[in-house]
Chain A
Amino acid sequence: MILEARDVTVFYGDVCALAGVSLAVRDGEFVSIIGPNGAGKSTLINVLTGVLHPTSGDVRFNDRDVRGIGPVALARLGMARSFQLVHIFPDLTVLETLQAAVVSRLGRGTRLFASLAGDRQVQAQALEVAELFGLAGQRHAASKHLPQGDKKLLDVASAFALRPEIILLDEPTSGVSTADKTAIMEILVTASRRIGCRAIIQVEHDMDIVFGYSDRIIALHEGKVLADAAPAAIRENRHVVDTVIGRLPDPV
């Protein structure tokens, strides 16, 4: 068990956003969280990534209590995330962005007088990730000048550059053309294998992506887990299909 949430409840004042959500992510799994708007997906992500302290319940990462410990501590423990809305460093180049992640992972951020250009380990690892994500050709371009799809890819790539044990992707393909979606997913899966990432959790609306890549799907509805099962079983569950999905993708 890498990541486990038990009976997580979150109240915003009187409003209950999550009502006793439990889930577990095991080694080697690709888990998708689905649900309509307002189902509690964002709240769940914020709880899992240590941003939000749940009102009650447990969140354990590698058997360690991570409730509300914050993104910085969690990243150091080995959990990385990407954002729904693209988060990049506008004025840094692609390579610099990846270098920042590598510097952080290697704990070299306090090296005041060392040369970044002369740090071979940082340079090599950043370049490796750039190549893995097909961004090497634009490595000297400022991030703000990248096309939207590449910005999204860079956001995810920098999370991978942390070599996390688990990675949490908040709508990794939102705002990207349909043709690019599959390409991004293929890169993601390949990269996670190469980097030795033990599990991936994604929040995703595109059912083709969800059913095409997940080992398991967790359906949220009104702050509760409606179903937690393999894609084939979800497909058979009429209740989930009707309330959460609406339309089933064609079988793959």
Chain B
Amino acid sequence: MIGRLVLAAATLALVLLPMVAPLYYVLLMLPFMAYAVVLLGLNLLFGYTGLVSFGHALFIGIGAYAGAFLTTHTPVRSLEVILFAAGVLGAVVAAPVGALCVRYVKIYFGMLTLAFGMLFYTFLLKFYRLTGGDEGMRVLRPSLLGLDLGAMPKTDYLAGPYYYYSLGILVVAALVMWRIVHSPFGLCLKSVRDNPAKAEALGLGVTRYRWHAFVISAVYAAVGGALLGPPTGNVDPTLAYWTQSGNIVFMTLLGGFASFFGPILGAFVFIFLQDTVMSVVPYWRLVFGAILAFIVIWAPGGLMGLFARAGAASSSRA
């Protein structure tokens, strides 16, 4: 009940935010919403299937570069087409990569995903004719729902139509993911996570379920990645660098991987905390390292875990 109220309030706040908040913060919400989409997918793999990928920046990069390529090399401007193409491309790349990676678990899975991520990063750096090398590529302003908004001032476009478009994508992505984790398929993923040997004894093909989860998470990462490009108007290889993969795992841990909304909260806190800390001290990574250590040692359930603990404590006192 309380959860639903919080969710309704948060959604309302997201809808009203551009009307009340300073422009700076409205623009900061754009990467948050893009990462939230990425994390919904990553957590299907992490929280629900029990596999920690250190290479999902690969798929963020694929989505972001798909948008850049389509807007600069083809007449495509429609963001719907870009998101669709990003998702399809993510799936096409994830299918073979995932098929190889999911044969391994734990650290081996993590290292293998990291290796594929670095392979792609190197590709982006070296094939500069296609990718622009370390300078990256431009992303031209996409049209939204068939509306060409090219004449709008950039900040109006981003804080208005683009903001609400991103919010719409996030809501749809969350609804679809909610459906998936509460489906028979979602239950099978949790079984595979909890005890693969038992799942196999019950006739559930562990490798196949892991692979499905991997591909779905890659589609989400690519769609989220495609949303990251237009706000900056530029994509570069750092989007696909391994620290990026680390950041999204960090966001997931920060919010709490055991909860559906945990990773979304994690993305929100990460983006705004990073912004605040960076403006105060130059060594923001030092601060984030300390936070990460704190979470792993004292709050493995992340922020959602802390809230749940606080909620349980207050209700037992009452």
**Closest Cβ neighbor of B190 among chain A residues:** A92
Shortest distance from the beta carbon of B41 to any chain A beta carbon, whole Å: 13
User: Are B203 and A162 in touch, CB under 8 angstroms?
Assistant: yes
Instruction: Check if B117 is an interface residue, CB within 8 A of chain A.
Output: no
The CA of A113 and the CA of B181, in the complex, are separated in Å by 9
Q: Which residue of B lies closest to A91 (CB)?
A: B194
Decide yes or no whether A105 CB sits under 8 A from chain B: yes
Contact with A along B179-208 (1 / 0, CB 8 A): 110111111101101110111111111100
Interface size class of B (residues with CB under 8 A): 20 to 34
Check: B209 CB closer than 8 A to any chain A CB.
yes
B190–A104 CB distance below 8 A: no
Q: A83 in the interface, Cβ–Cβ < 8 Å?
A: yes
Interface pair B191/A112, CB less than 8 Å apart: no
**Given A91-B194, A96-B190, A100-B191: A158 in contact with B184 (beta carbons within 8 A):** no
Interface string of A58-102 (1 = CB under 8 A from B): 000000000000111001100011010001111110001101110
Contact partner, A100, options B187, B197, B206, Cβ 8 Å:
B187
Q: Are A111 and B183 in contact (CB under 8 A)?
A: yes
User: Is A178 interfacial (CB 8 A cutoff)?
Assistant: no
User: Is A159 engaged at the interface, CB distance under 8 Å to the other chain?
Assistant: yes
CB-CB < 8 A to A101: which residues of B? Answer: 202
Contact yes or no, A89 B184, CB < 8 A? no
Given A109-B184, A111-B183, A119-B184: A71 and B194 interface contact (C-beta under 8 Å) = no
Q: Are A89 and B203 interface neighbours, CB within 8 A? A: no
Distance A117 CA – B184 CA, assembled complex (angstroms):
9
Chain B binding surface, main DSSP class: helix
Q: Which of B180, B193, B194, B204 contacts A112 (CB 8 A)?
A: B180
Closest to B201 in A: A71
Most buried by B among A90, A100, A113: A100
Quick check: A162 and B184 within 8 Å, CB to CB? no
Q: Is the CB of B184 within 8 A of A114?
A: yes
Contact assessment for B184 and A103 in the assembled complex, using a CB-CB cutoff below 8 Å: yes
Interface centre among B187, B190, B195, by most A CB within 10 Å?
B187
Q: Is the CB of B195 within 8 A of A89?
A: yes
Which residues of chain B in 143-186 are interfacial with respect to chain A, using CB atoms and an 8 Å cutoff?
176, 179-180, 182-186
Taking a contact as CB atoms closer than 8 A, the residue among B183, B188, B197, B212 that contacts A115 in the complex is B183
A100 & B201 in contact (Cβ 8 Å cutoff) = no
Most buried by A among B183, B186, B190, B195: B183
Pairwise interchain contact B190-A108, C-beta atoms closer than 8 A:
no
Pick from A71, A91, A110, A162 the residue with the most CB of B within 10 Å. A71
> Given A87-B195, A89-B191, A100-B191, does the pair A108, B201 have CB atoms closer than 8 Å?
no
Bound-complex Cα distance A122 to B182 (A): 13
A185 contacts B by Cβ under 8 Å = no
Contact across chains for B201 and A109 when beta carbons are under 8 A apart: no
Contacts of A110 in B (CB 8 A): 185, 212
Closest to B195 in A: A89
Which residue in A88, A104, A111, A122 is a CB contact (below 8 Å) of B204?
Answer: A104
- Chain B minimum-CB-distance residue to A89: B194
Chain A 32-68 per-residue mask, 1 if CB under 8 angstroms from chain B, else 0: 0000000000000000000000000000000000000
Q: Contact: B195 with A112, CB < 8 Å? A: no
Q: Are the C-beta atoms of B182 and A91 separated by less than 8 Å?
A: no
Encode B106-147 as 1/0 by CB contact (under 8 A) with A.
000000000000000000000000000000000000000000
Among the listed A91, A114, A115, which residue makes an inter-chain contact with B190, where contact means beta carbons less than 8 Å apart? A91
Q: Please determine whether A116 and B194 come into contact, CB atoms closer than 8 angstroms.
A: no
Given contacts A108-B184, A111-B184, contact A100 B200 (CB under 8 A): no
User: A100 vs B186: C-alpha distance in the bound complex, in angstroms?
Assistant: 10
Chain B contact residues, CB within 8 Å of chain A: 176, 179-180, 182-188, 190-191, 193-195, 197-206, 209, 212
Task: Give 12 CB contacts A-B under 8 Å.
Answer: A83-B201, A87-B197, A87-B201, A99-B187, A109-B188, A114-B184, A115-B179, A115-B182, A116-B182, A116-B186, A122-B184, A159-B202
Point out residues on A near B: beta carbons under 8 Å: 70-72, 75-76, 80-81, 83, 87-92, 96-97, 99-101, 103-105, 108-117, 119, 122, 155, 158-159, 162
Query: Can you name 19 extra interface pairs (CB under 8 A) apart from A72-B204, A104-B203, A116-B184?
Result: A72-B205, A75-B202, A83-B201, A89-B190, A89-B198, A90-B194, A90-B195, A92-B187, A92-B194, A96-B190, A99-B187, A103-B188, A104-B202, A105-B203, A110-B212, A113-B183, A116-B183, A158-B202, A159-B202
